[in-house]
């Protein structure tokens, strides 16, 4: 399969090379189409968001109001902070113009005049690389006033984050852009009605937008044939952990997880067995090593396997891994990154971390496992944004699949302390 997002072309990040390879032709084609037809094309292609939620992109675009007196905005989400994920960085480095072209087409389709690219602050080096590409695009009038002689004007600004995982959540991203703390907003209202500064806004992942020029160039029929029918296209799978060749592999959706690990990433370090795999970034549910045979890497297949494609960040753990410690580290991460708005997440994540630490210190009991599950269950679905769910899912799936890990580590002599019961709602006698 030919690579579409990150083809092996030297110096593709330079605008001249990009143009020579057919770059910005999709934009020219799109400008000759009606905006609604561009949205229709993307809708039919079945492109789904690459940021984790897999929402149909064309449908998202169609939510933007046609008649409005307010300015409309597009936010390109380059916050990329999900542990195990490092794909958007590669786009900024190797093929930034594909993203820029996609963003301009998206803006044209939705009638947007201003694009903000929100990039995590740690990516300072990649922000510079992106800015160079943006400047070059301005110089060639792909951006700016009356682009390519059309009546359409468009600005693209980069906005640097400052270290907060939560700002990858679309509404937190908007708050951060507005100069606030990155607090997610209650939905509804959805961003298409009430986004940045109360105006219609669409937020798309960098990789999602990079797919757009390909769809416009080759047509939706061609694109929708690639990979899994309900989740077509290629994905930038990031594979890390105990494999011989970690890195980004661009492959069609629906590739076998075992192929990804053994065929592409060179197998497990030291030819060891696999104990566990996280298939789509730290938020997704864990798979046991004996469960991965036949599992395909696309939204529907992974859903059927009880987990999710997420960002396509695969983390492989070999048989010698202290996976309880890894789970504790992940839970620490969510505790640290919880914005603190919702009690279940703010308190629950810390509570889960404490319980897990008890096991690492040999002080955990099997009652603690029930308590841990109870806390996780009370976080899930009870918070403004999905960070709470993202913290609960790894814990829940771990307890389901690796209960024996807790049993092995639990304190042998029964604790003298009474198990602490979670503070359930108390019925008041009135």
Partner 1 sequence: MLSEQNLKKLEELKKRYPTTKALLLPVLWMAQEQFGWISLDTMKYVADLLNLPFHHVYGVVTFYTMFNSKPIGKYHIQVCTNVSCMLRGAENIRDHICRRLNVGINETTPDRTFTVTEVECLGSCGTAPMVQVNNDEYYDNLNLEKVNKLLEDWSKK
Measured from the CB atom, the residue of 206 and 410 that comes closer to partner 1 is: 206
Measured from the CB atom, the residue of 54 and 339 that comes closer to partner 1 is: 339
Measured from the CB atom, the residue of 392 and 410 that comes closer to partner 1 is: 392
User: Considering only residues 381-410, where is the footprint of partner 1 by CB under 8 A?
Assistant: none
Per DSSP, the residues of 97-149 read: HHHHHHHHHHHHHHT--EEEEEE-GGGHHHHHHHHHHHHHHHHTTSSBSSGGG
CB of 266 to partner 1, least distance (A): 12
Beta strands in 28-113 (DSSP E): 73-78
Q: Which stretch binds partner 1 (CB under 8 A): 7-15, 244-252, 350-358, 402-410?
A: 244-252
Q: Does 180 bind partner 1 (CB under 8 A)?
A: yes
CB of 94 to partner 1, least distance (A): 13
The position carrying tokens 């004007």 is 153
Measured from the CB atom, the residue of 86 and 138 that comes closer to partner 1 is: 86
What's the CA gap between 83 and 259, in Å, rounded? 22
Judged by CB under 8 A, the residue of 35, 313, 344, 364 near partner 1 is 313
Per DSSP, the residues of 158-178 read: EEE--S-GGGGSHHHHHHHHT
Judged by CB under 8 A, the residue of 197, 222, 303, 419 near partner 1 is 197
Q: Which stretch binds partner 1 (CB under 8 A): 77-85, 201-209, 366-374, 380-388?
A: 77-85
Residue 252's closest CA among 276, 288, 292, 225? 225
User: Considering only residues 125-164, where is the footprint of partner 1 by CB under 8 A?
Assistant: 125, 155, 157, 159-164
Q: Does 112 bind partner 1 (CB under 8 A)?
A: no
Between β-strands 296-297 and 313-318, what pairing exists: parallel, antiparallel or unpaired? Answer: unpaired
Q: Which stretch binds partner 1 (CB under 8 A): 121-129, 144-152, 286-294, 399-407?
A: 121-129
Q: Of all helices (H) and strands (E), which one includes residue 320?
A: none
Measured from the CB atom, the residue of 155 and 389 that comes closer to partner 1 is: 155
Between β-strands 114-119 and 155-160, what pairing exists: parallel, antiparallel or unpaired? Answer: parallel
What's the CA gap between 203 and 194, in Å, rounded? 12
**What character string, x for contact with partner 1 (CB under 8 A) and - otherwise, covers 353-372?**
--------------------
| Ramachandran quadrant class, 60 (left: phi over 0; alpha: psi -120 to 50; beta: rest) | alpha
What's the CA gap between 150 and 104, in Å, rounded? 13
3-state secondary structure of 95: coil
Q: Does 55 bind partner 1 (CB under 8 A)?
A: no
Judged by CB under 8 A, the residue of 26, 75, 192, 239 near partner 1 is 239
Contact residues: partner 1, CB under 8 A: 71, 80-86, 88-89, 120-125, 155, 157, 159-165, 176-182, 197, 238-242, 246-248, 278, 282, 313, 315, 317, 321, 325-326, 329-330, 333, 336-337, 339
């Amino acid at each position: 399969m030919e690579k579409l997002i990150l083809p092996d072309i030297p110096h593709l990040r330079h605008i001249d090379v990009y143009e020579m390879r057919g770059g910005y032709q999709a934009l020219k084609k799109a400008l000759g189409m009606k905006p609604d037809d561009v949205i229709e094309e993307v809708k039919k292609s079945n492109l789904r968001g690459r940021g984790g939620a897999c929402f149909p992109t064309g449908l998202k675009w169609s939510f933007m109001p046609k008649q409005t007196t307010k300015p409309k905005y597009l936010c390109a989400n380059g916050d990329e902070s999900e542990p195990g994920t490092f794909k958007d960085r590669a786009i900024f480095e190797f093929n930034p113009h594909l993203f820029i072209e996609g963003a301009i087409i998206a803006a044209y389709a939705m009638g947007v005049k201003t694009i903000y690219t929100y990039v995590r602050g740690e990516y300072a080096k990649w922000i510079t690389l992106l800015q160079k590409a943006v400047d070059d695009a301005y110089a060639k009038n792909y951006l700016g006033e009356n682009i390519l002689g059309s009546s359409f004007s468009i600005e693209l600004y980069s906005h640097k984050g400052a270290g907060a995982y939560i700002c990858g959540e679309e509404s937190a991203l908007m708050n951060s852009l507005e100069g606030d703390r990155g607090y997610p907003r209650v939905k509804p209202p959805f961003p298409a009605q009430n986004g940045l500064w109360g105006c219609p806004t669409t937020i798309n992942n960098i990789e999602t937008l990079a797919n757009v020029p390909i769809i416009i160039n080759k047509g939706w029929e061609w694109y929708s044939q690639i990979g899994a029918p309900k989740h077509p296209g290629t994905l930038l799978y990031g594979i890390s952990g105990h494999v011989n060749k970690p890195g980004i592999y661009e492959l069609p959706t629906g590739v076998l997880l075992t192929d990804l690990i053994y065929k592409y990433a060179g197998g497990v370090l030291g030819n060891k067995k696999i104990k566990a795999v996280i298939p789509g970034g730290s938020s997704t549910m864990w798979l046991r090593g004996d469960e991965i045979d036949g599992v395909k890497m696309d939204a529907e297949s992974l859903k059927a396997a009880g987990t999710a494609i997420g960002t396509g960040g695969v983390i492989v753990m070999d048989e010698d891994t202290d996976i309880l410690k890894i789970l504790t580290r992940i839970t620490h991460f969510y505790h640290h990154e919880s914005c603190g708005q919702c009690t279940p997440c703010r308190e629950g994540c810390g509570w889960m971390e404490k319980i897990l630490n008890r096991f690492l210190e040999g002080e955990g009991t099997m009652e603690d496992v029930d308590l841990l599950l109870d806390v996780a269950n009370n976080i899930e679905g009870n918070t403004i944004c999905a960070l709470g769910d993202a913290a609960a899912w790894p814990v829940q799936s771990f307890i389901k699949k690796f209960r024996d890990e807790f049993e092995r580590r639990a304190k042998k002599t029964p604790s003298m302390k009474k198990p602490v019961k979670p503070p359930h709602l108390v019925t008041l006698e009135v």
